[in-house]
Structure 1
């Protein structure tokens, strides 16, 4: 009997099954490893400072992974709550005034504070949208992340009357951690509906993991009624 030309060899089937298993198991294993690694790192920073009489592990005689992280989250939340009132703001301002007098420390502190305020501020629009710009030549499009409107000297020197500049981040493939900060007129940007997370997956996969897109349904156009000249209706 002649071999079936459509039959897949056993070695190919085993290889495909192995690759499918890797695709399923690798992300799960890496996620678990990173999660427990972060928990252990947080515990190593917080647990040494917990008094023995307040440490529940001494009473239960069992290890409690994540205890340090939970305590750190609670303390950070309390500090944030206290920092919003008058007394807390006064203490923070006093501490910042001391840091601003230190030549090297003030530069590091100002830079880190600006980064965290930009990324974590609730009303910030940083990296909440994706768009397309023509790069590196007309007719060739590149995916960018919208970080906000250009401000300060850049907006004053480059912004033309009636033309708003937008700062965008052009990330490379497949590692989108480095890239170019560019200032582009808003009219030159094609805004996309995909989220920054979907855009990052698209970049990392080299265009293989394109997000699903459902075009918005067109709104029905209201047709005006034509009056009947005889009946007046």
Structure 2
């Protein structure tokens, strides 16, 4: 967005991008690709405690992250019971290093959520795959007795047309003692305010359908009105006392 705002798009001959730092939604990836006119983008997860940036890499088929199984053992565990989940189920990444000497890690809890992807990738690589990072186990919020990860909301919003990639989840406890959720979502650039009511209803219906909670208020706001950050974006504002 900043590149376009400063009129630099035609001066940057960027064709492919390797990006990381935080979990990104499909909507955000599409937006970055569109704004920079990229041919392709590749996801690279990383963690300072492990081997820094580059603990795996997305390939041209975008069917998961090929992780360096010759450098570390990856387990996917239930974050509450710490027992292995079935292949394909979401859980917390737990790693054991095979090459680090000064500061080895043994069954280190990363708090990152993902799942193992069975089978071989169409690219032909023999390296195993895990899904893109889907969130963090310590980001979980409890709303009306339902465990919710922000990534679930992100996933829902990424599948809805005419909205942008920026959103906020606001949790409040009212005088009646009940918890209420407000979801703020930007309209896509070029979409008018006359679409607000329809978009709000679609989002509320999908949240109810997919995670079985009612988003009390879905507020559609202007494109560019929600704050941007050069660091990790804050999505959840829990104002419950």
Name the TM-score, length of structure 2 as normaliser. 0.23
Structure index of larger Rg: 1
Greater relative CO, 1 or 2 (CA 8 Å, sep 6+): 2
Give the structure with the larger helix fraction. 1
